[in-house]
Amino acid sequence: MHSLISIVGVVLTWKENYPEWSQKIKHTLIYNELWKGVCVGDKDKEPEQRTLDKEFSIWENKNSKVYALIAASINEEEICHISPFSKVFEALQKLKEIYDSHFGLEVIQLMIKLFTLELQNDDPLALASEVKSIMHDIKVTNVELDIPLIAFLKELYPTYSNYLESLQANGNLKDITFDSLVKKSVETEKGFGKKTTP
């Protein structure tokens, strides 16, 4: 197990390094033939339960090895998230649910930050550096950008900033798309008694 941990080479500490950690875990387990049938079944679904005693014993041994590897490569605060689960598939799904759920919202927050940047002290290089830093932060989330959503958010700022910030504060921007934001906007406009076009 020590050799496996050294191959992974990264400890999951928080959402910032979840993509790197999950990829390294996956590749390590694939290399050691511990991925298929333990972490995933067909088409990324839960592996089928083994029924024969011998098969179950082999599966249980592999499941225990993978669970130990995962537990060794996450910090103590994260272990509490997986401790209720005995199956590796369920533990990995829980971590994915926790960390992937942050990325969509984080990208929108970063885009909003990007739109509200201003030139400070007549220093275009400082502004360029800030833009580059934000774009790097967006890239490391591995979220595929929704270009119409980006354009729409940009046009909504600053006029609808209070509305967007309230959605953001309530977590309602987490999984938002261009179409769903348009729908929410229509509902909001109707609430104010304004006429809307489909």
| Run means of pLDDT, 10 residues per run, the chain, 198 residues | 59 75 85 86 72 85 90 82 88 81 70 82 88 82 77 82 77 75 80 56
Residue 105: which of 19, 172, 182 has the closest Cα? 172
Q: Which amino acid is at 102?
A: H
Phi, psi (degrees; rounded to nearest 5) at 92: -65, -40
Distance between CA atoms of 146 and 85, rounded to whole angstroms? 34
Q: What is the pLDDT of residue 192?
A: 64
Q: What is the pLDDT of residue 138?
A: 80
Q: What is the pLDDT of residue 17?
A: 77
Q: How many CA atoms lie within 13 A of 55 on its CB side?
A: 8
- In this structure, are residues 164 and 156 in contact, taking their beta carbons and an 8 Å threshold? yes
Alpha helices in the chain (DSSP H): 2-8, 18-31, 53-72, 76-82, 88-115, 124-140, 147-156, 161-169, 178-191
Q: What is the pLDDT of residue 198?
A: 46
